[in-house]
């Protein structure tokens, strides 16, 4: 579903991402972890098409994100680290707007939205304006909007920041359900417990380079650690 090959992204003379390669298959959750400035968000934004690669290639569903950008965007649901909403738009209007942008007809949107609202028990506030929402509720609507057009690849950048524990658990269940039903997920996060809990494989970034890309057990072996070592222990070993 996603193939990143020898990806380079430079800002001036600084290589924020330097020769990174990995693949994600349908049904798989792949997490990217690493220190601040290691390239996690840059990789996500390059895949989604917000940044243009300086070198290498990115394919989504077999289509190139630069040469066939409209096609690749149709496959993607994107959850940014900060909710991008409009203060004078209601939550319901926002979901309809995002769905329409992806070509989902009004009848289908109207059918899907109630089920999405129930994920976070948002029924009753969907007709209120975003300016009255908490940061957490803004994030919830952003998460739901990413599912509305039934994408094949979900790009998630720190999704549970700002969510209460119950909502964070609901979000994790939705990501796991999405993968179980054949979707592919890439998750960039500093919340290592979430990455350890959800991921089939984990990529560890350091200074723009992918220093490891393995299952949890594979990372344990690479870091020369044994259970009950955690992903935090692995992280410290591989990035310290």
- Estimate the crossing angle of helix 135-147 against helix 106-119, to 10 degrees: 130
pLDDT at 132 over 90: yes
Q: Is the peptide bond before 59 cis (omega within 30 degrees of 0)?
A: no
Full DSSP string of 79-102: E-SS----TTSBHHHHHHHHHHHT
Helix (H, G, I), strand (E, B) or coil at 31: strand
The domains found in the chain, sorted by start residue, are 2-84+149-239 (3.40.50.300)
pLDDT at position 160 is 85
Please, which pLDDT band fits residue 161 given cuts at 50, 70 and 90? confident
- Residues 214-239 pLDDT 10s: 999 999 999 999 999 999 999 999 99
Residue pLDDT, tens place only, 21-37: 999 999 999 999 999 99
CA distance 184 to 223: 26
pTM (two decimals): 0.94
Structural tokens at position 145: 């909007």
């Amino acid at each position: 579903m996603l193939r990143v090959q020898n990806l380079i992204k430079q800002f001036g003379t600084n290589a924020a991402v330097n020769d990174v390669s990995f693949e994600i298959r349908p049904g798989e959750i792949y997490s990217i972890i690493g220190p601040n400035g290691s390239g996690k968000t840059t990789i996500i934004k390059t895949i989604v098409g917000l940044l243009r690669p300086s070198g290498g290639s990115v394919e989504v569903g077999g289509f190139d994100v630069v040469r066939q950008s409209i096609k690749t965007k149709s496959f993607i649901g994107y959850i940014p680290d900060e909710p991008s909403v409009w203060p004078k738009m209601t939550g319901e209007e926002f979901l309809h707007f995002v769905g329409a942008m992806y070509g989902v007809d009004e009848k289908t949107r109207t059918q899907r939205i109630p089920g999405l609202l129930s994920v976070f028990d948002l029924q009753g506030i969907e007709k209120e304006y975003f300016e009255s929402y908490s940061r957490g509720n803004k994030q919830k609507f952003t998460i739901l909007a990413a599912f509305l057009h039934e994408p094949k690849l979900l790009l998630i950048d720190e999704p549970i920041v700002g969510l209460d524990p119950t909502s964070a658990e609901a979000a994790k269940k939705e990501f796991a359900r999405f993968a179980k039903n054949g979707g592919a997920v890439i998750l960039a996060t500093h919340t290592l417990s979430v990455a350890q809990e959800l991921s089939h494989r984990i990529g560890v970034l350091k200074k723009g380079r992918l220093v490891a890309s393995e299952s949890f057990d594979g990372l344990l072996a690479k870091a020369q650690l044994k259970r009950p070592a955690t992903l935090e222990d692995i992280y410290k070993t591989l990035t310290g």
